[in-house]
Structure 1
Amino acid sequence: MMNNKEAFRDYLQLEKKYSPHTVLAYWNDIVSFELFNSVHFDQQTIDQVNYSQIRSWIVSLVDADVSNVSVNRKIASLKAYYKFLLKTKQIEVSPLLKHKALKTPKKIQIPFSEKEIDAVLVYLQNPIGFEAIRDKLIIDLFYTTGMRRTELIHLKMANVNFSTGTIKVLGKRNKERIIPVLPVINCQFESYLLERSGLENITDAEYFFLTKKGLKINDSFVYRLINSYFSAVSEKVKKSPHILRHTFATHLLNNGADLNSVKELLGHSSLASTQVYTHNSLSELKKVYKEAHPRNQK
């Protein structure tokens, strides 16, 4: 018979439609607390616990130098588990009902400058061969659409529409959205597909982006690709696909795009998620304001 932990895993996979990576992260956090509970409280299940037991786990994690961000993520996994037990009437009250997350420093994501973007694209200006053409297209697609890494990885051949100049992506919570692509990207699509058709063996034919061995690209592949190209032109600490998404939003806002339009392009469910990008736009506005206002010239 399936236990509550396994039922929760199925719930995340089948109903919430979380990615395998996310489901595994939840599972590992729950197993970790389960092990702690077994060792310190001689309790084989975590279905019926009190907050003091969870707090003991939190203290042990902090003592082990686990960051507050990671601790909060682990507790979020437990919260989701007890919410599931409430939903299935396994418990009446969540032991985390009054828990407050640990304080974490707000990290400002620093986008690439237009100069850094241009430097990478100039380096890849005349790509020759499958890999160079693919790499330039991936970087250009991130920068001109703001799509997420997982959306790019799972982009399918059937979801690229050349006639309308759009792509359909599957975002968070299995939400589909249509993203327009620039004509220059459409041209790159054609060059890439020509090279792609020349691959000797194609295993994952339904997916748009492939490795030279004909396999679907993965998370680490895309991260390494972005990090590698941008390390040559940028000294920023973070050089990831997410920073390119952040750059897309920031550059649009800096050049006059309204927040609602950027929200739709990014696939955010609320404006609050999009507003994190406005601090860079405000910096740009302040710069323009100081340079242009007559009172600042005196």
Structure 2
Amino acid sequence: MTTNLQAYYDYLQKEKNYSLLTLRAYLDDVKSFQTYLTQDHDELLLEEISYTQVRSWIVSLVESGISNKTINRKISSLKSYYKFLLKIKQIEFNPLLKHKSLKVPQKVQVPFSEKELMNVLEIDCIENDFESIRNKLIVELFYTTGIRRAELINLKCSNVNKHTKLLKVLGKRNKERIIPILASTLVLLEKYLIERSSMQTIQNPDVLILSKKGKILSETFVYRMINSYFSTVSEKVKKSPHVLRHTFATHLLNNGADLNSVKELLGHASLSSTQIYTHSSLSELQKVYKKAHPRSK
């Protein structure tokens, strides 16, 4: 790793507090561009390029079949790197200053219905073993708090305040937010904690949601579990923790929650990120409109 790249890594880690996963993604994108320069531009240094080389890289990425969304992410990483080089006075201008992101078609994700949620929560309702209670709690937490998969996996026991009925969540870029917990979720949590306390081996005692071996859950396990549960009640193509987060936001909006409140609950940095969820709630508004307006009859 070059001196500037190492300094950039340290900057993202120590000053920006980025997670290890984000750090790797940013660095991999910059290194990918560096490899392209080595192969196609006579080993031109990162600090010597102009936007011409960036544009050529974008063309090569498009031709290789990479999606516009992925390309935008790569260029965003590159733009961040050049902002850093400008900050430490390694370059005199940012070659990506006037770059405009590629257009990405908005995909409207279909949320689960309230009936599908109720049906899933009734699965294993008479089972009282550790795994059944834990799995139901995972579904309940996703649906009633809208947290991300990584946020759920990294929840600590100390993040739950039973007295105030609040949950502390550490989101992207270590941004902390507080989410209310429903009484029904707390009841289920109590049942889970009783089962958890009887486990013989706990390798990660500070972690709230554990595997049957007392270890922190993997992202793959959580995805497969959600997919498996919802496959029994829904024919939707995509069944994932993110769809549950989408469902949380959509159901709130359908029932009168304002966009800013949903934004805070989701932990979004900007309102534009939250607005994608209004597409689903618009269909609900259309039903109400057609039913209520005199001219729609």
Pairwise TM-score range, normalised by the shorter structure: over 0.9
Question: Can you list the C-alpha shifts for 1:246-275, whole angstroms capped at 9, x where unaligned?
Answer: 101111111122223222222223333222
Aligned to 1:143: 143
The offset of 1:294, in angstroms, is 3.2
Q: How does 1:263-282 map to 2 (within 5 A)?
A: 263-282=263-282
Quick one: which amino acid aligns to residue 209 of structure 2? F
Quick one: which amino acid aligns to residue 91 of structure 1? I
Distance 1:295 1:72 in 2: 45
Aligned to 1:284: 284
Q: How does 1:1-298 map to 2 (within 5 A)?
A: 3-43=3-43, 45-297=45-297
The two structures have a TM-score, normalised by structure 1, of 0.94
**Contact in 2 for aligned 1:127/1:136 (Cα 8 Å):** no
Distance 1:211 1:159 in 2: 18
**Contact in 1 for aligned 2:29/2:74 (Cα 8 Å):** yes
Bigger CA drift: 77-86 or 214-223?
214-223
Distance 1:24 1:174 in 2: 16
Distance 1:167 1:159 in 2: 6
Quick one: which amino acid aligns to residue 275 of structure 1? Q
**Contact in 1 for aligned 2:108/2:280 (Cα 8 Å):** no
Q: Which has the higher contact order (CA 8 A, sep 6+)?
A: 2
Question: Can you list the C-alpha shifts for 1:122-150, whole angstroms capped at 9, x where unaligned?
Answer: 22323321111111001001101111222
Question: Can you list the C-alpha shifts for 1:19-43, whole angstroms capped at 9, x where unaligned?
Answer: 2111111111111111111111222
The offset of 1:55, in angstroms, is 1.7
SS in 1 for 2:128: coil
Quick one: which amino acid aligns to residue 106 of structure 2? K
Bigger CA drift: 270-279 or 148-157?
270-279
Distance 1:34 1:295 in 2: 61
Count of equivalent residues: 297
Gaps of 5+ in 2: none
The offset of 1:240, in angstroms, is 1.5
Change (3 A) 1:78 1:148: same
Distance 1:32 1:261 in 2: 39
SS in 1 for 2:217: coil
Distance 1:205 1:66 in 2: 42
Distance 2:211 2:225 in 1: 12
Bigger CA drift: 99-108 or 262-271?
262-271
Distance 1:257 1:80 in 2: 35
SS in 2 for 1:47: helix
Gaps of 5+ in 1: none
Distance 1:284 1:179 in 2: 25
Distance 1:67 1:260 in 2: 30
Change (3 A) 1:44 1:207: farther
The offset of 1:184, in angstroms, is 0.8
